[in-house]
Amino acid sequence: MAETEIARGGRASRVRPVVLCALWLLAAAVVVHRLAAVLGLPGGERLTGRPAWLDDDGLPLHDAGGFSGTPAAALLLKAVTAVTGEGAAWACAVLLAAVAVAVIACRALPAAQRTWALPAGIALLVAAIPVRETVTEARLDIVAVPLALAGWLLAARRPYGAAFIGAAAALQPALLLFAPLFLLTGRRNAAVLTAGTFAAVTAAAWALLPGDSATFWLHHLAGAGLEPAPDDTANQSLHGALLRLGLSGPGEIVLFTALAAAVCALALRRAARYTTDGQPLLAAALIGCAALAATPAAPQQAQLWLALALAGQVGRRTADRPMWPVFVVLALLVPGDALLPKMDSLAVFADNIPLICVLLATCVLRFLHRDSELWSHPARAGLASRPNLLLELALIRVGYWAYSYVRGYVRGDRETVEAHGHQILDIERFLRIDIEHAVNHFVADRPWLADTMDVYYGTFHFAVPLTILGWLLVRHPGAYRRARRALAFTTLFGLAGFWLYPLAPPRLMPGLGYIDTANGPQDLDDPRFGALTGVTNPYAAMPSLHVGWSLWCALVLWRYAPYAWLRVLGFVYPAATTLVIVGTANHYLLDAAGGVLVVVLGFATSRAIGRALAAREMATGAAERADGGEDRLPARA
């Protein structure tokens, strides 16, 4: 037992500095990339949506420029823009606010988690959609998040911390929800100080801007109706979702009010429970999320409250623990239409992914309590257990989106890709395997064969691997993990090939007589290159992932298929795929060889990682048995 612990401790001591260094490098790269993106904009676009009253004190706040914030927020915005101007200093101010959220949140974590959580949190918050899409907007709603969070955490030790929450509520009134939370947790003085600070800041702003304050608080009921486009997807509140569903008028207002009240009541009850349980960061996240859902026009930067909900743990099994963190990270980093297929019936979900996560956090998910046996010792699922299905579907969908994005992003210029095409043809002539032209014309002269191959090319490439993955998930969960990992690395190596060697396929090589069986003659002066190539990267030919994925299917079937005929048929699939990619002029024969190579590399990498994971699982299991862990761990779910 002692030797096992020493070995594990030694490995951990070697790995942790490397991981920590990588996380800090990632955080620095994300911050630098965001600043570089801002500096790359023309001077007039580095601060968009600038209200006209910033330059003319005589103009009203809420009738010029579409400003929808509180008068206190307008005063803060005016002060910050006077100091930062419209260049990098403004972007730095917004990014510093995002970094402040990560720093303050990490202070509430156990010391062992702070070292890695801080760089990871900075990278997540700076790269999140609420920050990267608003870093050039003339809004400072993000300031309310670190103010309220710092006040909540500070109030546990210093009563005056509640004043920070009152100041944050003067910028975002829904954050007054922290006041009843103070009452529910027995801190009446903090609740009074929160309300008093809010009233004092609001009164000061009223004294400086009396007409604008009356417009905001009285004529528009705390800003309701001031947002120029409340049904925009940036507004992830219940009101915005109802408007996107087509509801409007008094009925929608009544329904929104009832739903918002229910969400706030439930969030307060749960937050009070987690506060007394010693999870103040999770409690703050629930209140912030409830404020986001209940605000008629929630600022996009308020979605950062969702990131703080990562402090909660969900799930009995180790296989289920990553589900909630992955969903939150995806909701913050990836557009909704990338998480779900682009279907009209799913648009209502794709448009409201952050709000769905907010409602799950505030009303649905059962976050573990610290005194739960599962808090530190979840049921070990093991490498042979069935993964979480929802998590797998989300990762597959996002993986395909990332694959499509990278595949379309890494494209070369025509001169380079055509030169590479001639290089491939020269090599094939030397090897006497330049059969593409003959096979392509044979297929093109037979319309029924060309149509069949076009359908094969466009459908089997995704349908067959997904079917095999589904079958493995149900019948062979342990094999599913290994096969999925091999497929992921195969695709990753394929994307590297697209980037390193952009290549024009035969159908896009001018003057060589190849026939595009799907789109007909190509006009190389038309940047769309036909219907099919207009929606993808036409120069992602080397390697052929059609062949790579089909060979992956064959190898998986050879290992796990229950029937001999099915195992043999599996190898017919990559052979037929090779014939199709050549016959439709989408690839050269050497592209098929490249597809074979990335499959070999993918399985080799997956095998190496699998051995490391198996060794770690054996060591963990041995240590737990030596400690009597089996007696205190719950049964596997």
Taking alpha carbons only, the member of 84, 75, 88, 81 closest to residue 49 is: 81
Contact (CB, 8 A) for 303 and 354: yes
Residue identified by tokens 């001591």 is 13
- Segment 53-103, tens digit of pLDDT: 777 777 777 765 567 889 999 899 888 888 877 677 888 889 999 999 999
pLDDT surpasses 90 at 144: yes
Before 17, cis peptide (omega within 30)?
A: no
Q: Which of 266, 260, 228, 230 is nearest to 245 (CA)?
A: 230
Residue with tokens 């998986």, as numbered in its chain: 556
CA 406 to chain centre: 15
Give the separation between CA 370 and CA 311, rounded to whole angstroms: 12
Average pLDDT over residues 182-208: 94
Q: What is the pLDDT of the chain when averaged over all its residues? A: 84
Which of 130, 95, 140, 172 lies closest to 304 in space, CA to CA?
130
Q: Is the pLDDT assigned to residue 196 strictly greater than 90?
A: yes
Alpha-carbon distance values, 82 to 55, 69, 95, 433, 622 (Å): 10, 18, 18, 69, 63
Residue 12, pLDDT above cutoff 50: no
Q: How far apart are CA 84 and CA 427, in angstroms?
A: 59
Q: How many CB atoms lie within 10 A of CB 359?
A: 21
**What is the per-residue pLDDT across 404-422, written as a single tens digit (0 to 9) for each?**
777 666 666 778 888 888 9
d(CA 603, CA 469): 15
Identify residue 167 by its one-letter amino acid code: A
Average pLDDT, stretch 421-448?
89
Write the burial class of residue 540 (CB in 10 Å: 0-12 exposed, 13-18 middle, 19+ buried). buried
Taking alpha carbons only, the member of 216, 219, 194, 195 closest to residue 205 is: 216
Distance separating alpha carbons of residues 63 and 48, to the nearest angstrom: 18
Identity (one letter) of the amino acid at 385? S
Residue 630 pLDDT > 50? no
564-583 and 447-475 helices cross at what angle (nearest 10)?
Answer: 140
Residue 531 CB: number of other CB atoms within 10 A? 10
Most confident range, picked from 312-321, 347-356, 626-635? 347-356
Give the whole-angstrom CA distance, residue 419 versus residue 340: 38
pLDDT, position 518: 76
Residue 594 token pair? 């490249």
- Identify the helix (H) or strand (E) that includes residue 606: helix 589-626
- Three-class secondary structure of residue 317 per DSSP: strand
Q: Which of 115-124, 381-390, 433-442, 550-559 has the lowest mean pLDDT?
A: 381-390
Is the per-residue pLDDT at 526 higher than 90? no
Retrieve residue 219's tokens. 């004529």
Q: How far apart are CA 231 and CA 223, in angstroms?
A: 15
Does residue 411 contact residue 537 with C-beta atoms inside 8 Å?
yes
Distance, in Å, from the CA atom of 260 to the CA atom of 292, rounded to the nearest integer, reads 10
Q: DSSP per residue over 457-525, as a string?
A: HHHHHHHHHHHHHHHHHHH-HHHHHHHHHHHHHHHHHHHHHHHHS----GGGSTTS----TTT-S--TT
Long-range pairs for 29-34: beta carbons < 8 A, 24 or more residues apart: 30/122, 30/123, 30/126, 30/127, 31/95, 31/99, 31/122, 31/126, 34/91, 34/95, 34/126, 34/127, 34/131, 34/132, 34/135
Distance (Å) of CA 307 to CA 36, 129, 312: 24, 12, 10
Convert 21-30 to b/e letters by CB count within 10 Å (16 or more is b): eebbebbeeb
Tell me if residue 196 falls in helix, strand or coil: helix
pLDDT at 532 over 50: no
What contacts 113, CB < 8 A, 6 or more positions away? 106
Token pair listed for 531: 């219907």
478-523 confidence digits (pLDDT tens):
788 889 889 989 988 988 888 888 888 888 888 888 888 877 665 5
Cα 58 from chain centroid?
43
Which ranges in 61-220 belong to alpha helices (H)? 71-84, 88-107, 111-127, 129-132, 144-155, 162-171, 178-184, 188-208, 210-214
- Determine what percent of the chain is predicted with pLDDT higher than 90: 36
Could you tell me the pTM of the whole model? 0.78
- CA–CA gap between residue 472 and residue 474 (Å, rounded): 5
**Which two structure tokens, joined as six digits, stand for 298?**
């929630």
306 pLDDT above the threshold of 90: yes
Tokens of 221: 């009921």
3-state secondary structure of 48: strand
Nearest Cα to Cα of residue 202 among 191, 218, 213, 212? 213
Q: 206-216 burial, b for 16+ CB within 10 Å, e for fewer? A: beebeebbebb
pLDDT of residue 65: 52
